[in-house]
Amino acid sequence: MAELKGARVGIMGGTFDPIHYGHLAAAEAAREAFFLDRIIFVPAGIPPHKNEKEVTPARHRFLMTLLAVMSNPYFEVSRVDLDRGGVTYTVDTLRDLRKELGPDTEMYFITGADAILEILSWKDPRKVLSMAEFIAVTRPGYGLDKLAAALGPLYQEFQDRIHILEVPPMGISSTDIRRRLAEGRSVRYLVPETVFTYITNQGLYGVKGER
């Protein structure tokens, strides 16, 4: 269904393997800072830089994302990348969401600053940058002074469309959470309790029994 004219929608793209409080806090910070009406979390299918076997099956990542956002009335989850199947390219994500949201919606693609720095290696970067505004969430210890170098010839043209959002340092990453779980350590208070219960019940990331 098309949005009201001039609606501002955040699109939170990520592998979310698993989703954690860092992602949720970043989305909420972006919503506030950019006056977004709502945020759509979009779990990626197979990320281009990863092998299918390296990521947790899509149904688990989708359900964890759903469980994580349920308590926030401004958050929702889209299956657009999962239903398209195969490797996820952001150019396809934005094209499909544009169809759903209509021409008058302002789209803000939110993702990690380190992901944005790789944008020249993405499929059709010029088109991607012209399809939405970008919010690059900085992580603790990560400067964005490299943005100009990373964007190369596209920097001049698109710098106004890339916004940097500094979020309070939480130091949480999906990689660290997976490592902790594999080592039998706790991830309580790094992920929402609902996600923690799902991981435990499904025995994801090598979990055996209660943590």
Distance, CA of 31 to CA of 15 (rounded, Å): 20
Q: Is 88 in the site for ligand NAP (CB under 6 A)?
A: yes
Q: Is 127 in the site for ligand NAP (CB under 6 A)?
A: no
The shares of helix, strand and coil residues in the chain, as percent rounded to the nearest 5, are 45, 20, 35
Q: What angle do CA 125, 117, 19 make, to 5 degrees?
A: 100
In the bound state with ligand NAP, the residue whose beta carbon lies nearer, of 91 and 207, is 91
| Of the residues 8, 114, 161, 200, which one makes contact with ligand NAP according to CB under 6 A | 114
Inter-CA distances, 34 with 51, 141, 173, 186, Å: 34, 23, 24, 34
DSSP secondary-structure letter at 208?
-
Considering only 19-27, 99-107, 157-165, 183-191, which stretch makes contact with ligand NAP by CB under 6 A? 19-27
Q: x/- binding map, residues 178-207, to ligand NAP, per CB under 6 A? A: ------------------------------
Least distance to ligand NAP, CB of residue 5, Å: 26
Does residue 39 sit in helix, strand or coil? strand
Q: Is the peptide bond before 18 cis (omega within 30 degrees of 0)?
A: yes
Task: Quickly tell me which residue has 């990453």 as its tokens.
Answer: 173
Considering only 32-40, 61-69, 72-80, 169-177, which stretch makes contact with ligand NAP by CB under 6 A? 169-177
| Of the residues 65, 105, 111, 138, which one makes contact with ligand NAP according to CB under 6 A | 111
- Contacts with ligand NAP by CB under 6 A lie at 12-15, 22-23, 26, 44, 47-49, 88-90, 110-112, 114-115, 122-123, 137, 173-175
